[in-house]
Structure 1
């Protein structure tokens, strides 16, 4: 399988971030997709930048992107390696202009994410995780002069960086809080002090990887591109992403790309 450079994914993410920012600084025009979810020019421009960057660097690796055309399962079911992309995760946060939106790129190999990157353009923070290497956070990402993967790792903060405390921190969606999520939180409160942290987009995964949150229960629907990069980063930090239905590790490139419920748990 083709070896993928994290530095190259940083470059692609930064370019996508620039396209998003160009739209973010203006009045945002919102369209509605068939499933009633919002779509902006930023989603489309980020998608185009990512597709161009990935296809130039890795023309032999297929890409499954939220904003790309639907690729039939018959065509993708035998893929052994592919990029899973969400060009703008947290469109609702983008429209609200609260800064909590991200660019997500995951490398899926044999049904599981082995490398994931998440870039938050407003925060200018780049999270990345690779199987066997670890999880990291690079602040002021667009201002750094990074030459290769080794330099990228040495410039970054290894995750998790937060020590254990007696308080259990649960991160929940800023836009999607279900009754089941509230029930999970109440269950933890029976014997421990619980703080609830809210965040938008895939930054919830990053909070778990950093150690700032112990759990992220997602008892509501998501799509594969919402979770691939975050799972790679959490798992590289020592954490877990497990399916609610059978407590098995989350896997990808299913015929139906809609995810079931899941729980993200930090490394203790």
Structure 2
């Protein structure tokens, strides 16, 4: 397994452990300047992840780090992109649908990704250059890489052309544009079922064949999508910007993503 991918996996598991320690307490919720929620879990997980990634010498873009000026960032060929707790709203609701997202990006493209779901101890990870993505259900957060690799099962997206389409919808962001997309499929004679999930698990649903397509007509940041895009790209799925009609790019001057579509 790629050395950086090993680091990302170890960091995500260790972050998952501290996240669940907070999850099991009466934690406080702060509201950040952008109106998004923040908990002690976000901060502690970020510290843990930084402790793994900083020694690699590769610069880091994390939701919870102070952002480096673009005049510096634009010189980076490779960087980590991190969301210590993706789906903080789901964390606060205590529904388990939150993740740790860690991706390695080179020349604007995700090349490695790890998504850990600490509430159920499930990890997804991918090496895009090898066209390999896997899922493993773990017994605990301290599972070794050796055991993890034995438990890992390859991800395979759907390969059928049936008239029934499963569309991934958001728990928190279902909006009119998404509903319009669903209606357009129905007009094409498709039977549509909405599959709801929080956080980057929406990418994983498509990558593992539990949904066909994920339309995102709501704001996301690069750290919300980089690891999910790596996992999808590794199994042949595309994550296409509705603005450029090209794959989402990373380490942009503006870290806000355009709307996008995940599909074959």
Q: TM-score, normalised by structure 1?
A: 0.92
SS at match of 1:198: strand
Structure 2 partner of 1:252: 250
User: Contact conserved, 1:125 with 1:141, CA < 8 A, in 2?
Assistant: no
CA distance in 2, matches of 1:41, 1:128: 26
Among 155, 164, 182, the alignment partner of 2:151 is 155
CA distance in 1, matches of 2:231, 2:198: 17
Q: What is the correspondence of 1:182-261 to structure 2 with a 5 Å cutoff?
A: 182-190=179-187, 191-261=189-259
Structure 1 partner of 2:122: 125
In the TM superposition, residue 49 of structure 1 has moved relative to its aligned partner by 0.3
Structure 2 partner of 1:45: 44
SS at match of 1:132: helix
CA distance in 2, matches of 1:127, 1:65: 19
Residues 103-154 of structure 1, C-alpha deviation per residue, up to 9 Å, x if partnerless? 000000011000011000011000011113211101116364323xxx7555
SS at match of 1:14: helix
User: Contact conserved, 2:157 with 2:235, CA < 8 A, in 1?
Assistant: no
In the TM superposition, residue 164 of structure 1 has moved relative to its aligned partner by 2.9
In the TM superposition, residue 161 of structure 1 has moved relative to its aligned partner by 6.0
Structure 1: gaps of 5 or more residues: none
SS at match of 1:259: coil
Structure 2 partner of 1:5: 4
CA distance in 1, matches of 2:150, 2:185: 37
CA distance in 2, matches of 1:75, 1:161: 38
- Displaced runs of 4 or more, over 6 A: none
Q: What CA RMSD, in Å, does the superposition of the two structures yield over aligned residues?
A: 1.6
SS at match of 1:6: helix
Among 177, 180, 189, the alignment partner of 1:180 is 177
Q: TM-score, normalised by structure 2?
A: 0.94
In the TM superposition, residue 220 of structure 1 has moved relative to its aligned partner by 1.0
Structure 2: gaps of 5 or more residues: none
* CA 112–141 in structure 1, closer or farther in 2 if over 3 Å, else same: farther
Structure 2 partner of 1:27: 26
